[in-house]
Structure 1
Amino acid sequence: MTTTTASGWDPAQYLRHAGHRARPFVDLLARVPDLPGDPPVVADLGCGPGNATALLADRWPGARVTGYDNSPEMLARGRADHPRLAFAEADARTWTPAPGSHGLIISNATLQWVPGHVDRFADWIAALVPGGTLAFQVPGNFDAPSHRLMRELTGSARWRDRLATALRHDDAVHTPEAYLAHLTALGCAVDAWETTYVHLLTGDDPVLDWVKGTGLRPVLAALGDDPQAREAFLAEYRAALRAAYPAGRYGTPFPFRRVFAVARKGGAV
């Protein structure tokens, strides 16, 4: 059983599927143009354990790259695994860098945790130098069985008193069209798209193992002081996931939709 840390983020659990989780970030990076600045200043907002931040340093070895996160556990893991990189504590809900200070602000699977994150775009675009880029990807799978079953279970008669308010999904992310509209209104050239990956997961109950590291965190945190209730919830959820995602001969297919946007300030993407 994985132990949930005080902040709810367990770097080891998150990194159990690091290869699959990094794939959308690699695809996002492929659409980011050359960066302005000498050297370019890069912010990885919501950097987690720093594995994606390291890819930024590989892509732009001369840049000043900093990973920002509000989880002490994630930052500690990043500093331990990547001692040559810079990390700092920051909250995406309030982080506002100086105007004209960055060549790239990039965020990987973080903004879904930030209510009203489109309202932060103006400050982040203002923080870019001319020709700088804001790029992000967010999960768009809140209607998938993994999340729908989670919501149904938290709202069931057995769990609703304790968990009815644990999850927030209805407005967690927007469509590519909505992101394009918000960012073009701020004077950017925008590339917005969506992709559905089909990850082939292995091991016992791999979909449950995946969501333990991310979307299930609020539920586990809400039940963290009651191990028996926590295990009872996991048993119900595990059974539902096994039915929704049957294992095949070579593993368990896990479709996962992602939404992407790359916005260049005052220039073509």
Structure 2
Amino acid sequence: MSVAVFLTPQHPDGVEVDPTRPQLLVTDQAATRGDGVFETLLFRHGRIREEEAHLRRLAGSALALDLELPEASHWRAAMQLALGRFHEGAGEGAEASIRLTASRGVPSEGGTFWVLVSGVSRSAATSHGPEDGLRVVLLDRGYDAAAADRAPWLLAGAKTLSYAINMAAQRWAQAHDADDAIFVTSDGRVLEGPTSSVLIARRTDAGVTLLTPELETGILAGTTQAAAFEVAGEAGWSLGYGPLTPADLLAADGVWLVSSVRLAAAVTSIDGVSVPCDPELHRVLVEGLDAAL
């Protein structure tokens, strides 16, 4: 089941609407231009996970688009309203995904803002381990590693509604005998997945290091990646940011795609080449995220 709540001038803390009925005007710029931002959060273990991090990232994305948002307190109230109604039908404490969407709205009439709460299955999130990991392909993102600084209008690092490229990348991967994709720059830097962050682990005599690509390339600052760094730090691992190259992925002792709902999925093949995933490193990361999120 799903519950939808819209934030309006008359109902700043949200009003429930029927998610099975049309709610957007055909002239809303979410539909006509993909002009807006969104976040997806997870409700688990009785609370919204990483709530403040997601609200900060929503605000950062909106700032990049020069899009005015409702205050964070109104988003929180709308989420609680939607979750309350969801749990009335799905059962108290049922896990859920929470999508916050902010559109520029109808021209000259202001933005459109809503919360959608839906049920989520944890089975898919924990099914990709070293034995049955993801097969991924590397796809050229079409710009170099310095493009984000050189061309801020590309909105690199903003979580916009314009996800057609991301979805096309996943379809391309699935049409070419893979499960998902990892974007790379035209000059060979690893970026991120279409809907996930990239992590790699290296084990040496000095210990384990967990790495992710550097944010300066314009990738989205991953909330699950940040949580994974906390887990790894508590386990005594060293932490770091790229630059990373495809060769670094192939030489790693573990590669994962991480996201709010899927958590950590092991990668076991890149462009048809098998890559290892240390079972112990995978266990520490997955169990830590499972407890934290």
Asked whether the two chains share a fold, i.e. TM above 0.5, the reply is no
TM-score, structure 2 as length reference: 0.28
Structure (1 or 2) with the greater strand fraction: 2
TM-score, structure 1 as length reference: 0.29
Of the two structures, which has the highest relative contact order with CA contacts closer than 8 Å and spacing of 6 or more? 1
